[in-house]
């Protein structure tokens, strides 16, 4: 936890999708250690959902594991409803779940690899899932003067991506963040972060990202989940006069 910024979130309630690893898990930990009750959503059958929630609960933190596939409308809506019921309301929604849909980056010239099935998965998880979750959570968030934070990607602002489809989905998520901010104002703020490299078990491999970061990133390192979690909490808990914004967090790689 940051030594400079301490949040006191006792009585607050949050949902984090994709909460069993990477940025999602870092955010769950940051929220829970700040006193919030957190529902962490991740794929059914993901062993880390149970193991990580069990680890955090053993530390006395209030964490609830809920299986959900955000790429399926019925699944995410049911999970949000379950979370709101168990938490007795909702203050923060973090739409973090995402997938590259590929183990290796797909060059923009290889269009034949972008099949209908691939596009459907990419759009369902990386774009539509955030919409379905936000719509389902909106009534509860309105009651709690709530906030939504979407995990976008710096590929939405140019540069490399796991695929053309992924970059398009994340670019659309930037615009959707703006429009949801208008839709839910003034009761609910909606913002986003656009991460660069992150030290996590991401499905798609970009090679030696530590070496790449030392060469291309001004801060000379890969982002840690805690780096992104700090920004997510700032947008959710603070930033009271910000909505519709997406913040680039990439160590300065776009400079």
- Averaged pLDDT for residues 181-190: 98
166: annotated active-site residue: yes
Tell me how far CA of residue 64 lies from CA of 14, 21, 95, 101, 149, in angstroms: 10, 15, 16, 27, 19
pLDDT at 56: 98
Which residue in 7, 166, 228, 241 is the catalytic one?
Answer: 166
The per-residue pLDDT for range 58-106, each reduced to its tens digit, is 999 999 999 999 999 999 999 999 999 999 999 999 999 999 888 888 9
Break the chain into its structural domains and give their ranges.
13-196+224-249
Q: How confident is the model at residue 235, as a pLDDT?
A: 98
pLDDT tens-digit profile of 11-67? 999 999 999 999 999 999 999 999 999 999 999 999 999 999 999 999 999 999 999
112-171 pLDDT tens trace: 999 999 999 999 999 999 999 999 999 999 998 899 999 999 999 987 789 999 999 999
pTM value is: 0.95
CATH number of 13-196+224-249: 3.40.50.720
Looking from the CA of 37 toward its CB, the CA atoms found within 13 Å total 13
Enter the tokens of residue 110. 């290889």
Q: Give strand pairing partners of 48.
A: none
Give the helix ranges, DSSP H, for the chain.
Answer: 22-33, 47-58, 73-87, 116-123, 129-143, 164-184, 209-216, 225-237
């Amino acid at each position: 936890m940051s030594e400079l910024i301490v949040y006191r979130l006792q009585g607050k309630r949050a949902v984090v999708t994709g909460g069993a690893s990477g940025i999602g898990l870092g955010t769950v930990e940051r929220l829970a250690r700040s006193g919030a009750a957190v529902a962490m959503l991740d794929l059914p059958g993901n062993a880390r959902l149970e193991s990580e929630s069990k680890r955090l609960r053993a530390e006395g933190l209030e964490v609830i594991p809920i299986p959900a596939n955000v790429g399926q409308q019925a699944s995410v809506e049911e999970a949000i409803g379950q979370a709101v019921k168990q938490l007795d309301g909702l203050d923060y929604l973090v739409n973090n779940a995402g997938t590259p849909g590929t183990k290796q980056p797909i060059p923009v010239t290889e269009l034949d690899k972008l099949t209908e099935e691939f596009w459907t998965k990419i759009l369902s998880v990386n774009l539509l899932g955030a919409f379905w979750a936000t719509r389902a959570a909106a009534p509860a968030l309105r009651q709690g003067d709530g906030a939504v934070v979407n995990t976008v990607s710096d590929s939405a602002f140019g540069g490399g991506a796991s695929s053309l489809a992924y970059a398009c989905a994340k670019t659309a998520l930037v615009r959707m963040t703006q429009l949801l901010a208008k839709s839910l104002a003034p009761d609910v703020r909606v913002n986003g972060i656009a991460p660069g490299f992150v030290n996590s078990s991401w499905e798609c491999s970009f090679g030696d990202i530590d070496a790449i970061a030392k060469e291309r990133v001004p801060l000379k390192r890969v982002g840690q989940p805690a780096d992104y979690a700090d920004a997510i909490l700032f947008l959710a808990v603070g930033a009271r006069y910000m909505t519709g914004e997406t913040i680039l967090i990439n160590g300065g790689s776009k400079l």
